[in-house]
Amino acid sequence: MDALMTQLEALLADNSIFTLQTLSYYTEGLTVTVQLVFLSLLIGLVLAVPLAIGRSSKRGWIKWPIFAYTYVFRGTPLLIQLYLIYYGVVFVDGIQETWLWVILEDPFMPALIAFTLNTAAYTTEIFRGAIKSTPKGEIEAARAYGMSTNLMLRRVVLPSAFRRALPAYGNEVIFMLHASAIASVVTIMDLTGAARFVYARFYAPFEAFLFVAAIYLCLTFAILYFFRYLEKKLLAHLQPMS
Amino acid sequence: MCTFKLEIDNEKILTTSLLGLAIAATSAQARDYDEIRIGVDVPYEPMEYRTPDGELTGFDIDLGNALCAEIGIDCEWVVQGWDGIIPGLLSRKYDAIMSSMTINEQRREQVLFSEPYFQPPSAWFAPEGSELTDTTEASLDGLTIGVQRGTLQDNYVTDMFGDVADVNRYSTADDMVLDMEAQRLDIVFLDYPVGQSTLLQSDNRAYKVVGEMVTEPKEYFGDGFGIAFRQRDEALAEQFNEALATLQEDGTYDEIYNRYFDAK
C-alpha cells in the first residue's frame, strides 16, 4: 500500500490539480455517493414490494393512498423534494427541540430520506406494472390448486413479477445513481460535491468534471454488468435454446 | 514609394508629438498639486455612496478627504463609471482614483498604486448565544463551519481548519444563513459587509462577530485596495503614502474605520 502511494505521488508530482489531497476528496465523495445510493435503493426496494402489492389491491382504501404517494413523488422534481426535506423542515416551529432534529440535522439523513422516498415511488410503480401483467392462466392455475392469496403471491405472482421487472429496475438503479448528483446542494461532499470543490478551487471545470464523469461511468458499467448477470441467471428460461 | 514616404512622415509626427508629451510630462512632474481631483464610482456601500440628500459619503470619501487635509491640498471628487475609471485617470479627467480598487498586476501596468490603504475584512459570525470567543484551531475543533463555495474564505477555512472541523460549502450566502438559523452551523466565515447586512442587521439580530476581523495572510486575502495615480506622479503618490502613515498613527484612520465597520 505504501509503495502504491509513493508511486501515485510520483505520478502526480507535476500535476497542479490532481494532487493526493484532491484525490482524497474524490475518494471520500465516492464513498458517500455509493453509501447514499446503495442505502436508498435497498430501503426503497424493501418499501416498494408491500407498496406494489397494496397498489394492485382491489380495495380502494389501500390502493388510493399509495397511488397518491407515488403520484406526488413521481410528479415533482427530486431536487424540490430534497430542498423541502432539508431546508423546509427548518420552518416547523420548535423542531430543533424534538427527536426528529437528531435525524434531520446532518445533511446525510435528509438526503437519504428524499432519495429513498423517491426511488420507492418509482420502484412501486415498476413492480405494480409487473404484478399486473401476470398471465391470467397462472393465477387461475394457482387458484385451482387451492392456494390462498398469500401463498399464491409468494409462489406464483411475485417470483415471475420480479423477473419481468428486472430490466426496468436496472434502469431505475442507474437513474438513482445519477440523480444522487444533486446531494451536493445540501452541502454533502459526494462525488459531484468533490468535483464542484475542485472546480471552484482551481477554476478548472474540464478537469474537475471530466474526471468525475469518468467515475460515474465506471459505476454505471458495474451496475450494468451486475444486472446483465442477474438477467442471464434469472431469465435463463426465456432465452432461445441456442 | 508613396506609402513609404508617408510612413516616414507619420513617424516624424509621432516623434515630435512624443517629444511634446515628454516635455509636458516633465513639467507635470515638476508641478506641485495644490488641488487634485479624485475619481470615484458610486455606489458601493459602505465604501462610497450618497446620503439621501445627495452628498457623497463612505469610507473612501472620508479617508480621501482626511488625506488631502493632512497633505494640505484641496480635493474634488469626480464621479465616474467603473468601466472608464482608469482611462479617465490617464486622460487627466482626474488625478487619482480612490474607489475600492484592488491592487493587482494588470492594473499596475497602467497605473501607479499607493500603499494599500484598506483590506476588505472577513469575519466570523456565530449565534448570539454561542460560547465561542475566539477562532483558534482548538476552539473550532469538531464544530461545523459554513462558507460560500469557491470564495477566498472557503480556501482559507479549508486550509486552516479543514482537518479539525466540518466545512459545509454553500452555493449562495442565503442558503448558508438559512442553515445557520436552522442551527445546523456553529459558525460561518464571510465577507464582513455581507455578514453585516445578512446577519447582524437581520430582523431578529441574533448574531454576533466572534474574534477579530481577518485580513491576513495576503496569499489568501490579497493586497487590498490602493489609490491609483498616473505612473509619472510618483511625488504625489509619495505624499499620499506619508499622509496615510500619519493618519494610521494618530488614530484618525481607526476613527474613520469604526465609522463604517463597527463590529457590534
Say yes or no to pLDDT of B96 above 90: yes
* ipTM here: 0.74
Give the CA-trace dihedral at A112, A117, A118, A122, to 10 degrees: 140
For residue B88, name the pLDDT band (cuts at 50, 70, 90): very high
Residue A105 sits at the chain B interface (C-beta within 8 Å): yes
CB B116 within 8 Å of CB B245: no
Nearest-neighbour CA in chain B from A86: distance (Å): 9
CATH number corresponding to B122-221: 3.40.190.10
pLDDT of residue B6: 42
Say yes or no to pLDDT of A198 above 90: no
pLDDT of residue A240: 79
Report the residue from A90, A105, A197 with minimal CB separation from B178: A90
Tell me the average pLDDT of chain B. 82
Tell me, yes or no, if the pTM score tops 0.80. Answer: no
Task: Spell out the residues 6+ positions from residue B142 whose beta carbon is closer than 8 angstroms to its own.
Answer: B164, B165
The topology (CATH level 3) of B34-119+223-260 is D-Maltodextrin-Binding Protein; domain 2 (3.40.190)
> Could you check whether B34-119+223-260 and B122-221 share the same CATH topology?
yes
- Where are chain B's structural domains? 34-119+223-260, 122-221
Cα–Cα distance, B198 to B190 (Å, whole number): 10
- The verdict on a CB contact (< 8 Å) between A107 and B168 is yes
Instruction: Determine the 3-state secondary structure of B77 from DSSP.
Output: strand
Chain centre to alpha carbon of residue A220: 12
- Joined together, the cell numbers standing for residue B143 give 464544530
CA neighbours within 13 Å on the CB side: how many for B157?
Answer: 28
Q: Domains (ranges, CATH) in chain A?
A: 22-53+64-89+98-233 (1.10.3720.10)
B122-130: average pLDDT:
87
In this structure, of A165-169, A222-226, A228-232, B177-181, the range with the lowest mean pLDDT score is B177-181
- The verdict on a CB contact (< 8 Å) between A201 and B155 is yes
pLDDT of residue A95: 81
Q: Which DSSP helix (H) or strand (E) runs through A166?
A: helix A158-179
Instruction: Determine the 3-state secondary structure of A223 from DSSP.
Output: helix
Report the residue from A90, A107, A200 with minimal CB separation from B154: A200
Residue B174 sits at the chain A interface (C-beta within 8 Å): no
Pairwise pLDDT comparison (B242 vs A239), residue with the higher score: B242
pLDDT of residue B240: 94
Instruction: Report helix, strand and coil shares of chain A as percent, to nearest 5.
Output: 85, 0, 15
pLDDT of residue B172: 82
Q: If you measure CA to CA, which chain B residue comes closest to A203?
A: B150
Tell me the average pLDDT of chain A. 90
Chain B residues near residue A204 by CB distance under 8 angstroms: none
CB A86 within 8 Å of CB B178: no
- The verdict on a CB contact (< 8 Å) between A187 and B150 is no
pLDDT digits (tens, 9 = 90+) for B188-227: 998 887 787 778 777 666 888 888 888 878 778 878 899 9
Nearest-neighbour CA in chain A from B170: distance (Å): 6
